[in-house]
Structure 1
């Protein structure tokens, strides 16, 4: 009996350790956010002071992620098709939300599309052509980290397209998106909104942190210079492309924690999903063959155990 009790306790501790390990990735992200802030001498001037306590944030995040798993199963089982577009200024927090959405999901069901600048060949194509191959098949959820709305934003502000290109884009987008919806795709569009001061602070954090400097591109720096031009471009985009079939949803993103929770909660509410009932899984016993022997592997092939 003692041996059995000991085994049960050891198993319970192992399970607990595995659960904690699965949460550590999220904790690492939060620790990293704090480390970034501490890199700056004027960190106390950070315009964002989240009113969401750490314990509440994690409790709600994990609860929402459990619901995302249910949504994923519902989409896959019922062969639904969904596209979620994440747009916003540089450093608005789009990537952070996308990471929390996909963190515990199956990449075969939920995938992220983040396209590079178009090639010369793509520039000569119908504008939407390079996005079409990435649209979902039945049973897939696709998250666009920036999308065809590049034309209404960076391409327009930086002069990578003509005024006629922009006007044609505004004429075409409503029809294009209505076609997607009529084909059975649920299309959800988020704009992450941050203030001038908040973007300035986040850029400063990236400048001072060697682990984050790769996130700063020449385009990002120009976006600071052309803040007002981007504002006007955003306003025109919302005016022309906020349609009944695919409306825009604005996420107040100065507070990262609130933005993540609010966006994921809203995303879940856009689907009439239900938990998919599955049969109880039983692990089959492993076969044991008396003539089986495990071959010895050379020590030279093992990764050095430095830690």
Structure 2
């Protein structure tokens, strides 16, 4: 993590103002701290109460166990993929879902960059080999949508490759649906100041520093590029058969409980307790780009 101060200080344009941000400075700037929760048009002034969150999450995790038993018994399959900017909370949401599930049939897939062999294959091929068999749940921490957002912005694919992917993805996902697999696509959306705060937290927490990569630093000045890529991706791949579920994720607690509620309310599994699941907060979760800023 050692590098020069000059290399790690960036100038950002936020709300029309030039801001200097030094991720190595242990003091988080006031302009980041004060604006983080409200950034990106977040609709709440405070985070979800911690005790209320724990109570809601426990009830939802009991329902997830019921869902897994039903999937095992029925042979049904489930895929959920989680996308979003770096530090949006994808891994934490997946952890909350999987915490009490049997790991033998609930798998997390977080692929590194493709090998030389994988780079020569059909683009979707390395993801398909991780698809669930009967009774299984697979949760993708990033997915084939790397090619829709991260790769074109960071120069890892050509414009032609990205355009071809955006045309092929809806057809690929139609095959998943036609197979009878329950399929969910989540985009976790955060504001720019919240991303900076989370990056800074990672940089100065010895237990989380591994989460901060050189590519995260390189992407700091590409906020608008990622926004344009995200919007194009959603426009091309938000379909009736495989819609995007967008979650405002500045507050991780609200994001997690609403993501789980959506999963549980979308499947009519045995013993489902709708009262225990609760209602989705439409200020936090909706379909398509309606909640994006």
For the criterion TM > 0.5, the same-fold answer is yes
Matched, 1:242 2:252: no
Q: Shift of residue 184 of structure 1? A: 1.2
* Post-superposition CA distance 1:16-39 (Å, at most 9, x none): xxxxxxxxxxxxxxxxxxxxxxx7
1:75 aligned onto 2:71: yes
Gaps of 5+ in 1: 1-38, 277-307
Alignment match of 2:200 (pick from 188, 200, 204)? 204
Which of 105, 108, 117 is the equivalent residue of 1:112? 108
Deviations 1:250-292 (A, max 9, x none): 010001111111111111111111139xxxxxxxxxxxxxxxx
Aligned-pair CA distance for 1:51: 3.5
Matched residue count: 238
Aligned-residue Cα RMSD (Å) equals 1.6
| Higher-helix-fraction structure | 1
Q: Which has the higher strand share?
A: 2
The runs of 5 or more residues in structure 2 that have no matched partner are 1-25, 38-44, 273-293
Which residue does 2:119 correspond to in 1? 123
Hey, what does 2:161 align to over in structure 1?
Answer: 165
* Distance in 1 (alpha carbons) for counterparts of 2:71 and 2:165: 30
CA contact (8 A) 1:50 1:257 kept: no
> 1:58 Cα shift?
0.7
Task: Give CA deviations for 1:20-70 in whole Å, capped at 9, x if unaligned.
Answer: xxxxxxxxxxxxxxxxxxx75668637236442121111101000000001
Question: Equivalent residue of 1:191, what SS?
Answer: strand
For residues 45-124 of structure 1, the aligned pairs below 5 Å read: 45=34, 47-48=36-37, 50-124=46-120
Match of 2:227 in 1: 231
Structure with bigger gyration radius: 1
Distance in 1, Cα, partners of 2:48 & 2:127 = 37
